[in-house]
Amino acid sequence: MPSTAAVREDTDIIPAGGGSLEFLTTHSHGAPEGAVAGRRPPALPEPPAYVIEIDEEAVGLVTVHPQGVSFHAVDMRALALEGQVFTDAAAARAAAESAFYGRG
């Protein structure tokens, strides 16, 4: 599981947990080792949880849910979002930002 990857450079959505990413090695012709011509290499696995940060403060955690991601508040300003299900981490972050800044 990734420990320092982020969706954007300002690290506002961070995969939770420890470990590191493993990447396929490439040959000089650019195809991943063991890749079959015409087939895409397997995608990196999705981490089971993301920490949502706003202004470098953790405000929530989203975990995998059958319909997307489930929000878990870690800051009182995001308490109204507790248990809500969002389509993805970006949608959860947008809602957390609105709650954090008192919009909506």
Q: How confident is the model at residue 102 (pLDDT cuts 50, 70, 90)?
A: confident
Q: How confident is the model at residue 37 (pLDDT cuts 50, 70, 90)?
A: low
Mean pLDDT of the chain: 75
d(CA 79, CA 73): 5
The pTM (predicted TM-score) of the whole model is 0.57
Q: How confident is the model at residue 47 (pLDDT cuts 50, 70, 90)?
A: confident
Q: Which two tokens stand for residue 85?
A: 């299900």
Q: Is the pLDDT of residue 2 over 50?
A: no
9: exposed, middle or buried (Cβ count in 10 Å: 0-12, 13-18, 19+): exposed
